[in-house]
A and B are shown apart, each in its own frame.
Chain A
Amino acid sequence: MAHRVGMEVSIAVSHAVQMSRAEAIAAYPITPQTHIVEHLSSMVANGELDAEFVNVESEHSAISTCIGMSATGARTYTATSSQGLALMNEILFIASALRLPIVMTVANRALSGPLSIWNDHGDIMAARDIGWIQIFVENGQESFDHSVMAFKIAENHKVLLPTIINLDGFILSHVVEAMEFPEQELVDKFLPPYHPRFSLDPKNPVTMGAFAMPEVYTEVKMGHQMALTGSYDHILSVWKEWGDLTGRHYKPVEKYKTDGAKILLLTMGCLSEVAEVAVDEMRDAGLEVGLLKLRMWRPFPFADLRKAVEGAELLIVCDRALSLGGAAPPVLAEVRSAFYEMPNRPRTASFVIGLGGRDIPPGVFKDIVAQAQAEAQTGPTEEYHIFGVRG
């Protein structure tokens, strides 16, 4: 029987990793990810988790160590945030090119400068093209569930891709929530031990990370691209299997009160729950507003998104990161590309919110909808709005 717990979300994630029987962890502590790896470190020290925990001197070393450990065939986990993710950057591409199923939690945090320890999505958006599967979660239960499911997705031999679970720093990682934990037997049945396709084994030597001449580099990248886009079906089947076992079903694009909605908000991460409150209030006031929550970021769920906006006239995309000097903030750019060839595409409006920990109460979403409605008549004043900026 599953049991209910009340717990800080970071600690719940560490339990998810423990119940997934991670065998190798290398991590460097960085706010707001610290509680996750701190707790895992205690579990290993106390004999509650039979894993190798490697303390390293930087995130560059953390991910490099994870690559080595994963290459030996160990189920490998790490976590980071912000500058830590940025410091990993060059190695992140190698982990995915080597097709090593490392699972990483990113407790999303703004990038310096100015120095900020608070939440936004600038860190992961700067690592958008690393070739990993990237999922966003919105509450504690999802953080737990997706941490377990990530191993099963990543380790599927048709996938073999490292996977990031994004959870918002502090506003999700550090809150105490009620969650349901499954029994260990259920997790063991769901997630069998990892059998690598190739591993570093002196008895059966292989070369990993070889040089590629111009004659084959493109073909190697094509294989990676096909694996990442092809992971979509396997992600969905893992989510379905988990849903059938636990009753908690997940979709690439989640809908909230979208029936008959002419206006749709689109959010990612835990602000989606705040947006739900705003949608409830706007619906009560007679506004035909609904909410789309983008869970799957890589591979990007183009078909789901196109289907989800059918019938809507206006899609308001709420980004939590900037693309300075670019055409659009990251999520909007992706969404517009998805719609470009659609005959009856909705108009888009764009608001960047919640940068560097700026608080977003439900009223913000109401203000955004009001402003977008007004601009739908007059035409927008800017390509995108950095909402609430003074001056």
Chain B
Amino acid sequence: MSSKPMDQVTWQEIEVGAVLTEPGSARAYNTGDWRSQHPVWTKSRCIRCGVCWTVCPEAGISEEPGGYFDMNMYCKGCGICAKECVTGCISMVPEEE
């Protein structure tokens, strides 16, 4: 498939059998736009242990400079990181319209 945005691709531009020839094309899906809530970090209480990063099932957490963590556009808002955070420094906040 071409590198066009997905909603502009025509049927003629799709490979036979919708085969994908580029690796890692799923990166272009910002799956996080489905979520109804997202985690918010209180950094003053974070000990930078990385447990949240480890338990996130969606690779939705990225490490930031300084060793702290934040969500990225693949976070689906499941809340596992908030549940598992060892210091309780993550809270889940509903998405605004």
Contact = CB atoms under 8 A, between A and B. Distances in A.
B23 A205 contact: yes
A213 interface: yes
Contact of B16 (A160, A210, A213): A160
Interface in B5-38: 6-7, 9-12, 14-21, 23, 25-26, 29
A389 interface: no
Contacts of B21: 198, 206
Contacts of B14: 216, 219-220, 223
A212 B14 CA distance: 11
By secondary structure, the A interface counts as loop
B19 to A, nearest CB: 5
Given A205-B23, A207-B25, A213-B29, A198 B17 contact: yes
A99 B17 contact: yes
Q: How large is the interface on A (under 10, 10 to 19, 20 to 34, 35 or more residues)?
A: 20 to 34
Nearest to A159: B16
Interface in A210-236: 210, 212-213, 215-216, 219-220, 222-223, 226-227
B11 to A, nearest CB: 4
The residue in A198, A205, A207, A213 that gathers the most chain B C-beta atoms within 10 A of its C-beta is A207
A208 B19 contact: yes
Nearest to B7: A215
Nearest to B21: A206
Contacts of B26: 210
Given A206-B21, A220-B11, A197 B6 contact: no
B9 A160 contact: no
A330 B1 CA distance: 37
A157 B12 CA distance: 15
B19 A207 contact: yes
